[in-house]
Structures are given as C-alpha cells and as structure tokens.
A and B are shown apart, each in its own frame.
Chain A
Amino acid sequence: MSEHVTHLGLFEDAARVTLHHPRMHEHFKQALRASWRAGCLGAITRSGDRFSIGLISKVRQSWESTGASRALEDKLAFLLGWRVHQAADRRFKNVFRELQPKHYQYPNPAPPDATVYHDVVVFREVYGYGRLAPFQPAALDYRLESNAFAKHAEPHFVEAILRSCWQQTLLRNQRFLANEKDPTAWQKLLEARIEPFTVDIRRYVDAHGNPDPGWYQRFIVAQNFYNPEDPLLRVARDLQHGKSVTEGVLLASLQDVDSQSQYAQALANGITYIHAANAYWNHEIDERELGRRFHIGSSHLETPAKESAP
C-alpha cells in the first residue's frame, strides 16, 4: 500500500535537496529542472524495483551517446521519483502492517487508515492545506465547497466522469490491448492493468476536517510521523519556500536521521537512493552494486542495511 500525497511530498522534498546538493551530478539537476512533473509521476508509480536498473542503464547509455534530450530528462527524472517511492515504501509498509494488520488480510483491500492520516498531515505540512501546487484546498472538501465554481456543476458527477476518462486513457497506454493475442493472457493483463479507484475520498475528507483524536495520536503523534523541527525538514521547507540554505546546513541535516521523524527518515532514504544512482551515473559503481544499494530483491517489510547519505 502506498499513499499519493506522502509519495509526492517526499519526492518533491528529495528533488529540492538534490538540486542544492553539492555532490549531485549536474545531469540530475538538469533533469529535475526540466522534467519535475515526470519525477512526480515516477514517485506515484508501482514496480520501481523491477525496472530501475534497466532504465537508468539505458538512459545513461543514450545520454552519453547522443546527449541530453527532453525524453531522456523525463526518464531520468522519472527514475529518481521511482526510487523515492521505493524508499518511502520501505520505511512505511512495515509501519502500516504493525498498526493495522487487518488491512493486509485477504480480502480487505482498503488502504489502512494510517496511510490516510499520513497523507492529510503531508497535505497540511508540505502543501499548506492544499494551497501549494499541485494541490488545491478544495481537493479535500467533500463537495469542493471552497471552490467558487463548484456550485455551478455537480462535482461528484464530474468527478465520476473524469474518473472514467482516466481509466479509459490510462488503459489505452498499455500495449497489451493491441499486442496480446492469447485470450487468457489478455484477460489477465486487463484485470491487472486496469486502474481501480480503491480509496474513498470521504476517508480523506474526514481525516482532514474532522480527525479522530485517537487515531491521530496513534498514527501520527506516537509514531513521530512528522516533526517540522527536524533539521532535514526545516531544510526541505526552507528550500521549498525559496530561502537560502548553506551547504553546511544541508549536509548536516542529512546526518543522524534516525533521531528525526519517520517522514524525515523516508526522505533521507530517498536521497540515499538518489546518491546511489548518482554514483552509477558517474561510473563509480556497477549495476550489481547499484542493485545492492537500491535494495533490489529485499522485501519492503525488511529494514534495509543502513547506507548513509554522502
């Protein structure tokens, strides 16, 4: 299970740190500046462990042979987002399972409430209650009441129609629709690739506007999910709001992350993955070592071996 707002917040924070990190390759910064949105998409995409090594290998080879292009920038930014997604999963999946194990027992596919509470905290702390892009304050209003246009259309109907348009178009981006000729295989792919909308937005509306005090205490406070006073999160917010951060402060914030909040730890893990990609991009490590540093093959429920960010 993953959650959209937290994954997006972590990627954008990791990307901002990367842009200001003295040891990150200029190509990474170039890709993030040009293709931020592609990175955001990578941050909310499944299966990153399966494809990361092959993708960065091909992108690096193409970049070195033909030079930069927008398509390569998109793919590199997407890859960085994909790694931050995996870092978040490795930090939080075991937390969710411990907090609400019933949500992982078949056949209950509903995401745990802790994921919803994580998201509304990030919505508040990173995205200013939705005032900051790409969010909107009305996104977590039940009927988008705070939006001036919402009373002129039926928002739930428009949402349902757009939802259908999304599923139609996302599915049409899958090649199996045209290429797979075996009926059984086609059917299995259809069921696997169709995007189900499994999260009821009312859970978010409730958690945002009327949070359960017990759940908030249990999922957020007791877990130390997010602490705005964490050195790394202060750096992330300063960078987000255009304040200057010295190199020394930035590097220091990446030390001793175990004493910081879960969000800060996930962010540091994401930056560590980007450092691993950076080392590979610089030909300092081979694919095998990159796979080890990406923790490819290790379960998301295991605590990965510690790698400190340079």
Chain B
Amino acid sequence: MTDISRRDLLVGTALWANPALWALAEGAASADPTFPGGSIRPGDVARTAMLHDAVILTMLSQGTPASIRHLLALEPADVLLGQALASGVPAGTEKPQPDALRLGAKMAAAADALLQPMLPTNTTERDACLLYWDVATMLGSSGSPGPLKEAIPMDQLRGFFEALHRRLFIGIHTLEPDAEDIEGWIERIVAWDAQREGMSDRYARALATRDSAEWRRFVEEAGFYSVEDPYIRLALAARKGAVTSTEASARLTASQPACVYAKAMQAAIRAAS
C-alpha cells in the first residue's frame, strides 16, 4: 500500500478558511487573550467546503488564465494556504509563493464579501446560522436537500463525527507542539480538543432536530444551499471527478448560481480569473 499521494495530501491540507471569517466566530481557545489560537468553530465546514469547490472549478474552467491554472496545479497548497495566512506572511518569503498566497487570499476575500452580509448581527444567531450552514453543507454532500427525513439516534449522529475525528488523529500520527511556547500550547491544544468534541455534539443536535426553526430561517429562507442549483450540481460532479474541463467551462458560463453557497463559490472563481 502506498502513502497518500501528494495531490490527495494537498487537497486535504489545503482548503483553508478565510481569516476574515474566523473573526466572526466567538470565544477564545486559550487562556491567553493576546493569542487566542485556533479551534474548529461553526461555519468552518461550510466555508471550507465552498472554497474547496471554488478551487476545483477554477482549475477545471477553461476561462481561468493559464498562469492561474498552472499555479493552482503546481502549488495548490500554497494557493490555499494563502486564504489563511496571507495577512501573516512576512515579506520576502520565497515559498509559499507570494503569487499563490495572494491568489488564495483574493478568492477567499471575494467569497467573504458575499457571505458576511448574510450573517445575523446578533452573536447567538450568527453562531446558529453558521452551524446550520455547516449542517446543510454536510447533508448536501450526498446530494440530499436536507434536513434528515428519518430519526437517527444521537449516539450515531455524534459517533459519525467522532469516528471521522479519530481517523484524523490516526492520520496525523502525532501532534507537533509549539516549541516556543510549550505551556501555552498545551492550554491551547486542550481547548482545541474540547472545542473539537463540542462541535461533534453541536452538529449532532442540529442534525437531530429535523424540523427546526433555525433550519427554515438560516438555510431554506436564506437560500443558503440547494442541491438543485446548477453550480452545486457541477461542484458535486467535480468532487467525484465526473466532469471534464470542457463540460465544466460550458456549465459555468451557461448557468447562474442561485443559492448563497453557489454565489460565494462563483465570486471566488471569478476573483481567481
């Protein structure tokens, strides 16, 4: 058995969320307020998936300039890292390539400009909205319009995410500590782990509530995600490798996105071109 291919690895590593959106999530991961660290929060799944789809379709689109396609194909990790790290990259770095970093930041900023106005201003509602965006994105990954039609026990819902998390623990083998701040890092990684597990509970509860006001408001009425949207259908096919570059290009130009997820994806794709 071989190791994971470079491309698989890069696609896996790559789809970083927009730092501007991170700030929308509440709560610090660490006891040190000057360095909140990072934890998985509501909205991370939805926007990461959206950026993932935007990158794939940008690579497939023949309307994308050759230099950009080349950059995406050559250094996808750098492009996608740029979404998260562009603001923190010291000037003068030779690699990750500045062009790739800028491209990632540009795509994320374009999507962010479309997504941010859709979020409620109230902190609690914003948090719920982002959570239901995540849930809709996950259900939509199987082509289901959601919400769930059948009752699934909570332990199975939560177990789905915990099984995936355990696979990810297996995949990374071991954690790399912050050698410059061991004690602070231990505090942050403990908080990260608690938040990670807490998100499994929150996803499970949101999925279990099959007829919720939150789903109707943040997903259906807001038009966040629709499996009937032509861009979503194209993205679902592209994820499976079931669409050619020619076909993707034709469908991107012949149709217009209707749901929020697809519009944000289109904005990111256009920003790359």
Contact = CB atoms under 8 A, between A and B. Distances in A.
B171 A163 contact: yes
A183 B177 contact: no
Given A173-B192, A186-B89, A197-B4, A41 B9 contact: no
Contact of B142 (A110, A147, A152): A152
Contacts of B45: 158, 161-162, 165
A199 B170 CA distance: 7
A234 interface: no
Contacts of B188: 173
Contacts of B61: none
Contacts of B12: 160, 163-164, 167, 197
Size bin of chain B's contact surface? 35 or more
Contact of B166 (A134, A182, A202): A134
* Size band of the interface chain A makes with B: 35 or more
B85 to A, nearest CB: 7
B52 to A, nearest CB: 7
Given A71-B187, A159-B164, A173-B185, A199 B171 contact: yes
B184 interface: yes
Given A158-B45, A166-B168, A138 B185 contact: no
A11 to B, nearest CB: 13
A51 B11 contact: no
A170 interface: yes
A255 B87 CA distance: 57
B17 A168 contact: yes
Most chain A CB inside 10 Å of its own CB: which residue of B35, B159, B164, B192: B164
Nearest to A167: B13
B54 interface: no
Given A161-B52, A187-B93, A197-B13, A204 B170 contact: yes
Given A148-B152, A158-B138, A170-B175, A5 B13 contact: no
B92 interface: yes
Given A169-B40, A170-B38, A2 B173 contact: yes
Interface residue SS majority, chain B: helix
Given A37-B194, A181-B90, A201 B170 contact: yes
Interface in A186-238: 186-187, 190, 192-204, 206
A174 B35 CA distance: 9
A110 B95 contact: no
A164 B16 contact: yes
B148 A165 contact: no
Interface of B: 1-4, 9, 11-17, 29-31, 35, 37-40, 44-45, 48-49, 52, 84-85, 88-96, 137-139, 141-142, 144, 148, 152-153, 156-157, 159-190, 192-194, 196, 207, 239
14 contacts: A4-B170, A136-B166, A148-B156, A158-B45, A162-B165, A168-B84, A169-B44, A174-B185, A175-B181, A183-B94, A190-B96, A192-B176, A200-B1, A201-B167
Given A41-B193, A170-B176, A195-B175, 17 more contacts: A44-B175, A45-B177, A138-B159, A138-B163, A139-B166, A139-B170, A147-B159, A149-B159, A149-B160, A161-B45, A161-B137, A166-B172, A167-B16, A172-B38, A173-B185, A187-B94, A197-B171
